[in-house]
Amino acid sequence: MSEPKVWARKSTFIFAAAGSAIGLGNIWKFPYMVGENGGGAFVLVYLICVLLIGLPVMMSETIVGKYSHGNAIDAISKTAKRSNASQWWKGTAVLSMVVIFVILSFYSVIAGWAVDYTYNFAIGEFSGKNADQVGKFFGDLLADPKRLIIWHSVFMFLTAIIIARGAQEGIEKSLGIMMPLLFIILIAVVGYSMFATGKFSETINYMFSADFSKITPMVIIKAMGQAFFSLSLGMCVIMTYAAYMRKDVSITESSLYVTGLDTIMALLAGLAIFPIVFANGMNTGSGPGLLFVTLSTAFAQLGVIGTVLGMAFFFLVIIAALSSSISLVEPFVKWCEEHFGINRVVTTFTYCFAVWAFGLITIYSFNDWSVVEFMGTEDKPLLGIGKSPFDVLDFFASSVFLPLGGLLVSLYVGWAMDKEISREQLFTLSGFFFSLWLVVMRFVVPVLICLVFVSSILGEAKTVEIIEQVTNYFH
Ligand code: PHE
């Protein structure tokens, strides 16, 4: 058998997994979720979820990948064989491949918005615009399929080029440039926010002092879903990258680094954005428009500095999204390459083209198809979930299949897989911490994920009702 393909440098797994984890989830989603869900209360619950669920699940995916040195489907097959477990567990990875295809198709469209913003900041288009005008700019972008298709194509093409070049030449080399750049730009914007706005202490207070009355069951559930999305868990993405991990690298240490870096970047994004929002007397609870309307209006009011900051900031969003999107392509390409021996370049471009075409559904969701009412009625459109096909895709991919993937991984590694595999792989952990990890994987993680899962299917009101009934019963 040939030597397994591994990263050239010891630190690359950390870079690659952190690159996958740090993305739109940190810079776009996290701040607006903090803003919508009670500031410090959300941050506190999020941090607990990352530590209690995110870290142990990240270690589990890494164990399977590193043990087998292969694509996710074969990795599960190989560990299952050694554990005398059913080969049906491979279904977990197969399901992931389908879901990441869908996630990438809309991820790329949203990343495309950032490409459009970077370009328009660069040409001074935003200069002096007020909130209404920036809101209109955003609305016009969403209403224009041609513009959306151009940027979506540019983004998918960049992703394909990196992946086609291979793990070492493409992923490893590009990350060596992208990750430090990401960090530098974010620190620069935080630096500006810290010294120039005078709102830094207000932000610290907002983000880090928790008002416990704001911690509702729904806040806990949303924070957990966000932890999964942000850490790229449950999708066999981390498993795929772990396959390239060198033998001498510690899984525990690497997982701690990746989880830590992802969390730091999310917090830094908050520290970069909120002072600017506060300084302009704007509302933190503006939802998905926080970056594309609220923050952009603030930049637009800052003259030349705003133009530079806006350009740098959205460029940062592009890089963060790109280092995540490549991780959404690699699992399928690696599988085709290893399992069927198909040429990497051919698979990459065919796959990316298919994702691109599927992405058109998202693009038209924002304009021509936005109120498609098939499968629904006027007041309860599309299965009662949302008003466009994109809402439905996003709901099923992020809120249903991501927790489901996480649940399957935790059941597989916790219960089905031979625990000797984990024991060998977690060679740096002491006996006590290993047992702790196993208990968390077997009991804590599945129960908590089931909560997220049930809640996302039943919706907010119903879940709160059930939780209240259960708590009353125990009182
Ligand atoms: N973690 C990425 C982000 O925060 C998104 C992602 C999800 C990537 C799932 C891979 C798998 O943007």
| 88-92, 221-225, 355-359, 394-398: the lowest-pLDDT one | 394-398
Work out the percent of the chain whose per-residue pLDDT is above 90: 62
CA distances from 111 to 300, 331, 358, 385 (A): 20, 20, 15, 23
**Residues 15 and 179: beta-carbon distance below 8 Å:** yes
Distance 324 CA to ligand 1 centre (A): 6
pLDDT confidence of residue 381 = 52
Residue reference for tokens 């396959």: 243
Distance 195 CA to ligand 1 centre (A): 31
Q: Supply the DSSP symbol for 376.
A: S
Distance 132 CA to ligand 1 centre (A): 31
pLDDT confidence of residue 467 = 78
Residues 258-284 have a mean pLDDT of 93
Residues 360-378 have a mean pLDDT of 72
**Residues 224 and 452: beta-carbon distance below 8 Å:** yes
Atom of ligand 1 nearest to the CA of 328: 10
Complete DSSP assignment for 110-127: HHHHHHHHHHHHHTTTTT
What is d(CA 30, CA 223) in angstroms, rounded to the nearest whole number? 9
Q: What residue ranges line ligand 1, CB within 6 angstroms?
A: 20-21, 23-26, 103, 229-230, 232, 235, 237, 324, 327-328
pLDDT confidence of residue 2 = 54
Top-confidence residue, 337 or 2: 337
Nearest to 50 by CA among 220, 179, 218, 206: 220
pLDDT confidence of residue 465 = 82
| 50-64, 164-178, 402-416: the lowest-pLDDT one | 164-178
| Tokens encoding 80 | 């299952």
Distance 299 CA to ligand 1 centre (A): 27
Give yes or no for residue 1 having a pLDDT over 50.
no
| Tokens encoding 447 | 């129960």
| Tokens encoding 126 | 């935003």
What is d(CA 239, CA 30) in angstroms, rounded to the nearest whole number? 24
Look at ligand 1, atom 6, and give the residue with the nearest C-alpha: 232
pTM of the model: 0.90
66 burial class (0-12, 13-18, 19+ CB within 10 angstroms)? buried
Look at ligand 1, atom 10, and give the residue with the nearest C-alpha: 232
Atom of ligand 1 nearest to the CA of 28: 12
Nearest to 215 by CA among 45, 352, 333: 45
What is d(CA 394, CA 372) in angstroms, rounded to the nearest whole number? 16
Tell me the pLDDT band of 426, cut-offs 50, 70 and 90.
very high
List Cβ neighbours of 296 (8 Å cut-off, separation of 6 or more): 117, 126, 134, 137, 138, 310
Which of 324, 394, 402, 404 to probe ligand 1 with, by most ligand atoms within 8 A of CB?
324
